[in-house]
Structure 1
Amino acid sequence: MRRYSGAGARQQQQTEAVADRVHRYRRVLMVLLSPVLLISFVLLLMPRAPASASGGVLLAVGGRRWGPRAVEDGLNKYAVIFDAGSSGSRVHVYCFDENLDLVPIGKEIELFKQATAGLRALGTQRSEEILQAVRELLHDSSFKSQPNWVTVLDGSQEGAFQWVTINYLLGKLGKPYSNTVGVVDLGGGSVQMAYAISEKDAAKAPLVADGEDSYVKELLLKGTTYYLYVHSYLHYGLLAARGEILKAGEGSDYSDCMLEGHLGKYNYGGNTFEASGSPSGASYSKCRALAVRALKVDEPACTHMKCTFGGVWNGGGGDGQKNLFVASFFFDRAAEAGFVDPKAAVAKVKPSDFEETARRVCKLNLKDAHATYPDVSEENIPYLCIDLVYQYTLLVDGFGVDPYQDITLVKKVPYGDSYVEAAWPLGSAIEIASSS
């Protein structure tokens, strides 16, 4: 156990006090439905920056990023990230020392709480009202803030932060780009691909139209410049892709991707799709053909040397993409389908594992699928065939991964004696803490 004296002891007492207060009010944090209330409550629990400190607070919300700096507490810096995405709201609290290493807050390396409301699910008008309330809250607080600090993170920024998170936790930052790992993050509405490329390949990046995100981001991390290829594919997250695949199969009263015995429609993004299973059951081969069509793999608009899907440049490949870490829904479905231990933090698999499982699932009717895969939730079981088919197709046909290449499914990454969520908020915190 570490022992502290003088300023170090006071610093440790302050850190423990923060943890104690968060722990004491944990139930309140869990049940608050309003992001505004959640924000104001957590801000009150964070240590206030001393008068001489220049730090503010970093707050980010599933595409919404609030505040430009981490709170400073002596030599340590705190960062608070709010991730209010399409499926829920989450708050992350991190503490960094002067070397940008994570420091425990009490007994935890990361404070994490999940609330129930997602900002994206509230609609544009309601979301903007909440964002404006946050601007006013920060303006009236002791934290430094400006109205334009409350902004919307685009998908490519989330992808870049995810790459920073995983490579930071693996101890790859500061090393040559060829030693880093590539990241695929499959969310509900979009999927991001990010990996480091050479300066030479970065110079070949195609120009993009006004208003579109550039393909390459230049990052300076731990004294090393990285050229990060990153792209976010809107409409190709797992939940959105269901709609794209069902739309590709329109024209029939049934879907070749849905399990026999399921009757109903699929609603996503304000659209409704026919999602009833055929009396003859789902067909792996037909569903896969629909998934390839939905991905627009042979998009004629692809004028670049090499593309992924939908006419998008693939970054050129290279060493930064050889070691691939795959996160979010990839891990969840693999665990629910039984070929990954749900209690594991990371797992080595191959894309072919998704294919083999999809072939078995698509043969089942709804009742048998319930019995065979009890870990899949009631609302997701009818879509297990389409989900697994899509995940395999995305990796192999979309991103060009060899079916038998080893990839790493990741939920949490070992860091010292702890495990940290492999999520983009930490990457956002690192960027801010390293520049403040």
Structure 2
Amino acid sequence: MARKQKKPFIPLFLISFIFVLLQSHSVSNAADEETFQALNRKFSLNGILVSQESEKYAVIFDAGSTGSRVHVFRFDKNMDLLRIGNDFEFFNSTKPGLSAYADDPKAAALSLKPLLVQGQAVVPEDLRPHTPIKLGATAGLRMLKNGAADRILEAVRDLFNNESSLEYEAEWVSILDGSQEGSYMWIAMNYMLGKIGKPYSQTIATLDLGGGSVQMTYAISEENAAKAPIPNEGEAYVHEKYLLGKKYYLYAHSYLYYGQLAARAEIFKVTRNSSNPCILDGYDGFYTYGGVVYKASPPRSGSSFKKCREVTLKALKVKAPCNYDKCTFNGTWSGGGGAGQKNVYAASFFFDIAKESGIISADKDVYSGRARPIDYRDAASVACKTKYEDVKSVFPNIYDEDLPYLCMDLVYEYSLLVDGLGLDPYKKITLVNKINYKNTLMGAAWPLGSAIEAVSSLTNWRMFQ
């Protein structure tokens, strides 16, 4: 790809963007002058530009099912995040997502153009040829058929290649698999906690319970990595990552259909179209997931913690044959355990349900807390005895859409942690929504992990160091 020659660096943001506006020949020419002026006003206040010898940027696109987002991160020579304006990232988004343009790949790519203009404008011109631009697509594109996803990704590659002066490789535009998402989440959380660069035994394990899948990721020893089985199909269990001069072997596995919302459907499948003991007494309705409608009503005897546990364990397939020395559930290799699994951080629905059910404080300013798996069981035993019409008085912070499924959700999360993933019921884990990084609360999300990997693994970064 043709690169623009470096121009002398001007350490004033206003002058820099005027220079960009006059000189750039690709995305910059297409950019709206008002966009540049707005970005200029926002960032020039902090005088954020330093020099090419002391900072690196990364531009990461998150192409989700509901919309597309651009994240721009800025790092110093020690790979610490630097502020862009008042925040540790530049962020913007657009709707709908790429999957909404299944029949028009060019329109899909063009939907990203405003974000590309803005994201590139944040990066100083001299640094653009050395700034990686990546796009990771998730659930939306995974579901498209007949090659539509491939055509959209190719159109995006053309956009990045032809209308961007950022560092670009075709393979950096792709659909992320579940284990990649899990790996990037692990990188992001360990980075914000100051663990990256330290021995694997000092890192934390991450559990991310989304709506459709749950990811488990932790660093394992080189010896365990060498013993990793090769699955007959699906994603590899172990991923090698080079981060801040340190090599890590990450066990990462994504359990599709076992996210919180998908797991409800799996639990309904066990009882087929009859009553389900996980549904609160007094509720009679339907649950829809993935276009399939399930009957959601309790038996005449009402909901039951014990019977709900039995149904949930069947849905988890905890008794599925295990062909390895250690397994989690559904015949999946566990990674072998070890020091990297000692401290567990659980995010997304693990945090949300704990807050709704009172396991941790429901205060709006609380973004993390400590709990034990047994606490989910204790809350479940109360929820499963509560009638649907009374549940709001017992659990005042529960969201209305979760009311009928509170017994089911709590039983599932307890069973997943203990019977599925093998955690000690009395082991304290950290439930997290945001992490305090340099006195700023930041959400743990995969784009930061992707940026860290991209910047820290570049050859010219090692030369720069």
TM-score range, shorter chain: 0.7 to 0.9
1:10 aligned to 2:32? Answer: no
SS of 1:298's equivalent in the other structure is coil
CA-CA distance at 1:251 after TM superposition: 5.3
CA distance in 1, matches of 2:245, 2:306: 49
SS of 1:287's equivalent in the other structure is helix
Aligned partner of 1:66 in structure 2 is none
5 Å-filtered alignment, 1:234-313, equals 234-250=256-272, 252=274, 254-300=275-321, 302-313=322-333
CA-CA distance at 1:262 after TM superposition: 2.1
2:70 and 2:93 in contact (8 A); partners too? yes
Equivalent AA in structure 2 for residue 293 of structure 1:
K
1:11 and 1:73 in contact (8 A); partners too? no
Percent identity, please: 49
CA distance in 2, matches of 1:98, 1:11: 20
1:261 and 1:279 in contact (8 A); partners too? no
CA-CA distance at 1:121 after TM superposition: 4.9
1:94 aligned to 2:94? Answer: no
Residues 81-128 of structure 1 show CA distances to partners (whole Å, capped at 9, x for unaligned) of 333445665543322122211001111123445666555458515766
Query: Gaps (5+ residues) in structure 2?
Result: 1-7, 21-29, 38-49, 100-138, 459-465
5 Å-filtered alignment, 1:121-200, equals 121=140, 123-125=143-145, 130-143=152-165, 144-145=167-168, 147-200=170-223
CA distance in 1, matches of 2:16, 2:276: 58
2:219 and 2:341 in contact (8 A); partners too? yes
CA-CA distance at 1:174 after TM superposition: 1.2
Equivalent AA in structure 2 for residue 350 of structure 1:
R
SS of 1:380's equivalent in the other structure is helix
CA distance in 1, matches of 2:389, 2:96: 32
Equivalent AA in structure 2 for residue 242 of structure 1:
R
Residues 157-187 of structure 1 show CA distances to partners (whole Å, capped at 9, x for unaligned) of 1111111111111111111111111111111
Residues 233-256 of structure 1 show CA distances to partners (whole Å, capped at 9, x for unaligned) of 11111111111111112252x111
CA distance in 2, matches of 1:399, 1:94: 34
SS of 1:379's equivalent in the other structure is helix
Query: Gaps (5+ residues) in structure 1?
Result: 1-5, 19-39, 48-71
**Cα RMSD after superposing both structures:** 3.0
CA distance in 2, matches of 1:361, 1:139: 54
SS of 2:253's equivalent in the other structure is strand
CA distance in 1, matches of 2:293, 2:300: 21
CA-CA distance at 1:310 after TM superposition: 0.6
CA-CA distance at 1:279 after TM superposition: 4.1
Equivalent AA in structure 1 for residue 278 of structure 2:
C
1:318 aligned to 2:338? Answer: yes
Aligned partner of 2:401 in structure 1 is 379
Change in Cα spacing, 1:8 to 1:245, as seen in structure 2 (3 Å) is: farther
Change in Cα spacing, 1:104 to 1:201, as seen in structure 2 (3 Å) is: same
Aligned partner of 2:226 in structure 1 is 203
Number of matched residues?
381
Equivalent AA in structure 1 for residue 249 of structure 2:
Y
Residues 379-398 of structure 1 show CA distances to partners (whole Å, capped at 9, x for unaligned) of 22211211111111000001
Equivalent AA in structure 2 for residue 168 of structure 1:
Y
SS of 2:441's equivalent in the other structure is strand
CA distance in 2, matches of 1:303, 1:321: 22
Q: Which moved more, 1:370-379 or 1:183-192?
A: 370-379
CA distance in 1, matches of 2:452, 2:370: 27
Residues 249-276 of structure 1 show CA distances to partners (whole Å, capped at 9, x for unaligned) of 2252x11111123222222123222212
Aligned partner of 1:223 in structure 2 is 245
Which of structures 1 and 2 has the bigger CA Rg?
2
1:86 and 1:188 in contact (8 A); partners too? no
1:260 and 1:366 in contact (8 A); partners too? yes
SS of 1:95's equivalent in the other structure is strand
Aligned partner of 2:111 in structure 1 is none
CA distance in 1, matches of 2:354, 2:346: 11
Residues 309-329 of structure 1 show CA distances to partners (whole Å, capped at 9, x for unaligned) of 011111111111011111111
1:110 and 1:420 in contact (8 A); partners too? no
CA distance in 2, matches of 1:277, 1:428: 44
CA distance in 2, matches of 1:293, 1:240: 15
SS of 1:327's equivalent in the other structure is strand
1:185 and 1:192 in contact (8 A); partners too? yes
Aligned partner of 1:34 in structure 2 is none
Equivalent AA in structure 2 for residue 405 of structure 1:
K
SS of 2:401's equivalent in the other structure is coil
Q: Which moved more, 1:187-196 or 1:200-209?
A: 200-209
Residues 399-422 of structure 1 show CA distances to partners (whole Å, capped at 9, x for unaligned) of 110111010011111111212211
SS of 1:171's equivalent in the other structure is coil
Equivalent AA in structure 1 for residue 400 of structure 2:
E
2:242 and 2:453 in contact (8 A); partners too? no
Change in Cα spacing, 1:83 to 1:385, as seen in structure 2 (3 Å) is: farther
CA distance in 1, matches of 2:324, 2:347: 28
Change in Cα spacing, 1:163 to 1:368, as seen in structure 2 (3 Å) is: same
SS of 1:281's equivalent in the other structure is coil
2:242 and 2:457 in contact (8 A); partners too? no
Aligned partner of 2:350 in structure 1 is 330
